[in-house]
Structure 1
Amino acid sequence: MGLLLMVVFISCEKKNNSTTQLEINKRTTGTDENRYYDSLFSWYKKKDYARLGKEIKEPAEESKEKTAVLNLYKGYVYLHQSRFDSAQVFFNKALQGLNTKPLQREMYYGLKGAAESVSKMGKFDAAINLQYKALDFLEKSALTDKKRLYYSTIGNLGINFFLNQDYNKSELYGDKALAYFAKVKDSLNLAYFESAKAVMLFQDDKFEASVQLAKHSLELRKKLKDISGQAESNNNIAIAYMGLKNWDLALEYLYTSEKLFLSGGNNKEVPITIMHNIAHCLKEKNNIDGAIAKYELAYKIAQSKKMQNESRISLQQLSKLERIKGNYKEALVYYMKYSKTKDTLFNIQKEKAIQDVSTKYETKQKEEKIKLLQKDKQLAQNQRWMYVVTILFLIITGSIAVAYFVFRSRKNQELFLVDKKLHESEIERLKIEMELKRKALDNFTDKLLTKSEIINELEQKLNSFNVDHDDAIHSRNIGELSKMKILTEEDWFLFKEYFDKVYPGFIPHIRKKHNNLTPGELRMLLLIKLNLDSFEVASILGISAESVKKGRYRLKKKLELIDEDLNAHIQSLSF
């Protein structure tokens, strides 16, 4: 549907000033140190992070346990301030010293905080792993409130599966949490996971159902006087109305959400996702200047917090909006920044994919080696047993010899089968590796084509744009665009690197066999080898279709082809 989905999930924690609520999971021993830990926990439960920060005092004596507890609450203070990288550092430090029985409560909240911080940074796989660890820990713990904590973790696990685009698991875990909190009539958690469920309904294009569930969540949160929760519910109602293309109602709820955040929710700071949603609605209502102002503010904040994905979205939308206004120079500036950010994210995703394949292959190799070692060990034990039997039963030496021969034959067959499996595994690895190299070459070629098309479009727009007072700057911009269109030396170096991986030895043999080819003719030959048509070759090399036609004629002549088709001949070349 082309809608830019921006969702906000606010961490759900009970906020209640009653003594009963704050005594959940308190320790039975009443030492000064334990009372201090309980005091820190109470400020955390009240969400009074300013007081919590003041209460954190460095220990007078070196204590691994106390340092770990203090690092835990430092992590939550930074998490509340949206300083997610700092929060993650302190949570990781805390987890290293919280693995003792007296600190079970802190250990759980350490895993919970670490999962939330990495999730906020878009590392959803890491968040899911930490939440699974929290579930395992709860099952073995003696915490008095562990059932509520268990289903709360189940629900948050569903949210991270949703953010990681695993919608089946997201629905499974989310519905489990909803059913439990509805059964025990826990309004706070019920409102939180209803709001999350509303977003999942939005994902399935069930906009009316999403609106109703998000509104019910909002009513519960109003009764609980949960300001940050109300802000989240208002945003989720808004995105449902965005799905229905009711931009006025969507803006009404978004402005309410913005006002609530500024009045006290989430450190009195509006999440970037809210700004993106407001800007999107303004754009749909043709308020281009208002949308640009919101996206510029969102980009500034995202940069300061090192939030790459949010920065990328802001730059992409700013480039599009400036093009709508006819400000092609500004559009080009934003697009170039967006392109750099996009390349960084692409490299991260590519490295992750390669790492996943490598990990799977290494795991498979290790499993095969373990099996082989186990079989070798079993074989050695059987051999020793056979030697003993031979000595004890000399009378039946012949029978034992036959039995031993049969046994060895079977073991050799098993070893042969294991070796065969290892060989097949190696072949499979090589296939996967070649496929990755081929995809990398195709992706790089596609990027070159896309780059040329976009720059060509912007160049045409700039050429048609009247710049009476700034001819020098205009000419320089056109010159820079022209340089970007062609296959640069850096592009050529990367292209050859990818090409050599897919067709090893092809370039050296071509140069040796046809040493009269110019660099330009060699590049054209390699692009034809990739089965690109003349238009695509012209786009990548930054030349006209007529120049490609002449180049093909010279190439055919140097390859000494008379009647044979040039493309068919190059495709048939292999060394």
Structure 2
Amino acid sequence: MNRSKTQLLRIFITWLLFSFIVCPTQAQTPVLKEVDIIDTLNGYVKNAIFYKYDLVAEIAKSGQSENILQELESKADNHQLRARFYAIKAAVFLHEDVKPEINSMAEYRASEVVQSRVLSLYEKTMNEAYLSGDDRLIAQASLICGQVYHSLKELALAVTYTLNGLELNEKLGIANSPHNYLVVGEILYKIREYEECVKNSIKAFKLFEKLKQPGDTVRMMFSSNTAALGYHRRQQYDSAFYWYKASLKAATALNLDIWKGIIGGNMGQIFFEQKKYDTALVLFQTDHKFSKAEKLFDNAANSLQWAARTQVRLGNTKAALQYVREAFRLLEQAPEMFYLRNTYVAAVDVFKALGNYDSAFYYNTKYSALNDSLERVIAISGIAVSKARANDEKSRYHIQSLQSEREKQVFQRNVLIAAIILLGMVGFLVITRQRLKAKLQVERMEQEKQRMQQEIASAREQLKMFTENIVEKTSLIEKLEEQAKNKGESSEQQVLMSELSRQTILTEDDWLKFKSLFEKIYPTFFQQLKEISADITVAEQRMAALTRMQLTSKQMAAMLGISVDSVHKTRQRLRQRLQLSSDINLDEYIAGI
């Protein structure tokens, strides 16, 4: 629900890509000769058109596409023509009339061989565009490549090239298609670039609103919902409500109950966070009803787990339990990992409210494992986008530098009499190259700085979650121990109590994971400790780290599997090891390391 990952959205995006990239026209049976195709391509160059899909369809339907493409490649004698040729060749490979020897066109397009071939051709398209030095052509090629990479689920490349194309067109004063802003806004939301997501989604909405083409009301609904989600995640609730209402207005105009439910469910999450539980519950229940009626079981499950959390807050634990169990059943029919993670959280809430701490502990463990996996994927995606943009800039610079070098060599070979002018130009090119190099180096350093900041922020969040999970686990186990004691300790229960005691101890693996995350945030902490006291023990290092995290003595004891009194003794040994006088506060001293 909150990610708008429904079957309806997927159908719409698929249609959007084909309608915009492909722009199908009536099939033409006559096949053009190679010379006529070259004339057509030259006409595209003259009129600043990248290409039209009717040409792709004619080549694909000719039955001689391989021979035609081979001839065309030999006759495309400049960067403008070659950029268009490689893009057309890739489009021919993806055309349904290629008649692949495989069960279905979908399987053909999804095959690694075809994807590799297509990606290679679009890489050549971009290289030729960069070599041309024509920003208009580079923008056109970037947008086409971005759309294709999105359809092939190469999100890092998709967002990189689409943003490049949009930015170049804006720089050139050329109007962009709102479709591109819509798609890139959705991708940016997935990788949690919420500020850029909002900007692009609002641009899409305003352009759709201005153009008022058939079907634009649907697109306005999607773009405004994505903008609202971006504001929602940034906790700017007034702005989120504004755009949710704009999206709801479009859904109402289209009489789309399913989307009225989805958008209402998104708004319900804000009401939940504002503790307006009665209002939130109605919205979640409505979303569940419409989603289930449309067989969007994953979205129905997500709305239901939110309803379960709301019922817990309202004190209706039996209803909450019923909702959670139904949510798990729905997710079996339509698995969706983000919604499953949310449902684990709801299950923990419900079972804690019921006093069933063993079940709460079970679902908390399931949540932690799945959340770690999902967060890792998102972090990697964000880094992948940064790397893709840096690599593209590096590639563009390298290709254009090579082109400049070739042109310089030709100039030197053919214009010997203009030696003084040539030297001046060479000097200018060298200075320009150095400036570009320096600029690229600064940009790389800035990107590396941003990447490191993202990693530190991620490590800080993981360390916080790691510590909270350990404390939560300990709390649950203590309550289990108390329940077991109240029932009397049989031999079987004594074995259980022993096992529970071992689980509360911070193992070596736990410590290594904790230390790894800790060092990302405080990289010199342990090194400085050893410089202050070379013979400091591992136990004292652990105590220093937990003190730096500002945990209470009880939490430290729980995490280390020792008594509070032992914590105090270890802290006293640490104070002695650091040779601190009685008037120095240990916590403040360690916070300054």
TM-score with structure 1 length normalisation? 0.59
Paired residues of 1:319 and 1:331 also in contact (CA < 8 A)? yes
Shift of the 291–129 alpha-carbon distance from structure 1 to 2, 3 Å rule, reads farther
Matched, 1:214 2:245: no
Deviation, 1:520, is 1.9
Query: For the residues of structure 1 that align with 2:119 and 2:155, how far apart are their CA atoms?
Result: 22
Deviation, 1:282, is 5.3
Partner of 1:115: 150
Matched, 1:178 2:197: no
Per-residue CA deviations over 1:277-332 (Å, capped at 9, x if unaligned) read 134335535321331122212443454xxx33222112121221222222211111
Matched, 1:510 2:543: no
Q: Any gaps of 5 or more consecutive residues in structure 2? A: 16-22, 32-55, 62-92, 126-142, 168-174, 272-277
Per-residue CA deviations over 1:340-378 (Å, capped at 9, x if unaligned) read 011112333444455566667778888999999999999
Shift of the 110–30 alpha-carbon distance from structure 1 to 2, 3 Å rule, reads farther
Deviation, 1:547, is 1.6
Out of 216, 230, 236, the position equivalent to 2:263 is 236
Matched, 1:450 2:450: no
1:25 maps to amino acid: T
Matched, 1:324 2:348: no
Per-residue CA deviations over 1:481-530 (Å, capped at 9, x if unaligned) read 54343331112233455566755695599399654x54323432454567
> Bigger shift: 160-169 or 307-316?
160-169
Deviation, 1:434, is 7.3
Deviation, 1:451, is 2.4
Shift of the 535–352 alpha-carbon distance from structure 1 to 2, 3 Å rule, reads farther
Query: For the residues of structure 2 that align with 1:154 and 1:412, how far apart are their CA atoms?
Result: 38
Q: How many residues align?
A: 470
Out of 320, 325, 346, the position equivalent to 1:288 is 320
Query: For the residues of structure 2 that align with 1:434 and 1:12, how far apart are their CA atoms?
Result: 37
Partner of 2:480: 462
RMSD in angstroms over aligned alpha carbons? 6.1
Paired residues of 1:68 and 1:94 also in contact (CA < 8 A)? no
Query: For the residues of structure 2 that align with 1:346 and 1:527, how far apart are their CA atoms?
Result: 24
Deviation, 1:260, is 4.0
Query: For the residues of structure 2 that align with 1:114 and 1:73, how far apart are their CA atoms?
Result: 23
Partner of 2:570: 551
Larger Rg: 1
Paired residues of 1:276 and 1:295 also in contact (CA < 8 A)? yes
Paired residues of 2:348 and 2:360 also in contact (CA < 8 A)? yes
Query: For the residues of structure 1 that align with 2:444 and 2:144, how far apart are their CA atoms?
Result: 44
Query: For the residues of structure 2 that align with 1:129 and 1:417, how far apart are their CA atoms?
Result: 24
Structure 1 residues 33-112: aligned runs within 5 Å: 74=104, 92=115, 95=118
Structure 1 residues 423-442: aligned runs within 5 Å: 442=460
Shift of the 230–434 alpha-carbon distance from structure 1 to 2, 3 Å rule, reads closer
2:209 maps to amino acid: L
Query: For the residues of structure 2 that align with 1:521 and 1:25, how far apart are their CA atoms?
Result: 74
Shift of the 208–511 alpha-carbon distance from structure 1 to 2, 3 Å rule, reads closer
Highest relative contact order (Cα 8 Å, sep 6+), 1 or 2? 2
SS at match of 2:27: coil
Out of 328, 341, 344, the position equivalent to 1:315 is 344
Query: For the residues of structure 2 that align with 1:34 and 1:389, how far apart are their CA atoms?
Result: 50
1:492 maps to amino acid: W
Partner of 1:266: none
Deviation, 1:542, is 3.5
Partner of 1:27: 27
Query: For the residues of structure 2 that align with 1:469 and 1:334, how far apart are their CA atoms?
Result: 27
Shift of the 246–413 alpha-carbon distance from structure 1 to 2, 3 Å rule, reads closer
Shift of the 359–194 alpha-carbon distance from structure 1 to 2, 3 Å rule, reads closer
Query: For the residues of structure 2 that align with 1:363 and 1:477, how far apart are their CA atoms?
Result: 58
1:322 maps to amino acid: F
Query: For the residues of structure 1 that align with 2:263 and 2:499, how far apart are their CA atoms?
Result: 44
Partner of 1:224: none
Partner of 2:224: 197
Out of 156, 169, 172, the position equivalent to 2:200 is 169
Query: For the residues of structure 1 that align with 2:201 and 2:452, how far apart are their CA atoms?
Result: 34
Query: For the residues of structure 2 that align with 1:437 and 1:160, how far apart are their CA atoms?
Result: 20
Percent identity, please.
16
Matched, 1:254 2:287: yes
> Bigger shift: 359-368 or 269-278?
359-368
Query: For the residues of structure 1 that align with 2:495 and 2:554, how far apart are their CA atoms?
Result: 27
Shift of the 216–472 alpha-carbon distance from structure 1 to 2, 3 Å rule, reads farther
Query: For the residues of structure 1 that align with 2:152 and 2:396, how far apart are their CA atoms?
Result: 34
